[in-house]
Structure 1
Amino acid sequence: MTDKDLYNRICDLQATDVSLETYLLSLLKLVEKEKSREDVPAELFLQILQDAFTSEPAKFNPEWLKIKKAPKENPNASGYDYAVAVIQFQISDLRKMKGKQLDDPYKTMGIDSETGERWYNFDPMGNLECGARCCVDGGSDENEYELLDWGFLGQLLEMGRIYE
């Protein structure tokens, strides 16, 4: 599966009317079920993205509100840890913006959260599509995705958050 294939498959996901926060909570629960996998087959990866639209969400952990910055990839840490940190950060940041920045009618032009992080996409499909679009725009379409490291999920979500 190339960058363009991945982008097209993500665009073909059957989205439901669920908030990005709820989607991320569901995604977190699904990812945690697969924790033992170091690499994820591309088809399972896409199925997890699809299932997060309708799966039971994880419970919000108030400790996540202490997260002050988006996580940075660490070559010494696992891709799973990075992906989970990104999901927790995004959930926390969205929660902090409720009733504030998220009420801005021009938020899709870009807003900064109280953590100073920039956001452009506020719904699951917008986040996923822009993250995948970033892969296409930044790649040579020579990347092949048969197995994905969990870190790719973290990158996809972060690119989705900031890619216009």
Structure 2
Amino acid sequence: MSSKSVLEHFTVPDDFQNGNTFKGKCMHCGTLISGSYKVTSNFVTHMKRKHRDLYILHSENKEIQPTLTQCIKKSVKYSPSDPKQLEMTNALIMFIAGDLLPLSIVESEEFKNLMEKADTKYQVPSRKHLSSKLLHEKSVEIKNNLVNTLKRAESVCFNH
């Protein structure tokens, strides 16, 4: 129970000055408890001892602050232009195209789990992004490389 939320259960005199102590009257039993806005432990203790059910109910509704590790784990991903992100996305495209796999593989929970285990920072591209942009870019790149290779060749032999 936070310091502000515990004071919701007490009436506070209108004439008190911020920082000073005051006697708050419990709205549930009428008991006067001394405290201040800065030091609310007396109010919390009263709620724990005299109105346990209300205290527990209010505590369960409290949002739990995530730990530093949880925050870092959730938020740190490669940026779209990060060399590692680009390298892994290129490998993913070659994997899908090379083995003629369906694009829906990137939507598979098992595949997402595999990629999370491989590199927690990697963001798997969506199926739509793969089909509308990434595969097209890769095919243009491969075509241009092939055209440049053929331009440099003195002769080419095609067998049927």
| TM-score, reference length from structure 1 | 0.21
| TM-score, reference length from structure 2 | 0.22
Larger radius of gyration: 2
Instruction: Name which structure has the greater RCO, CA cutoff 8 Å, separation 6+.
Output: 1
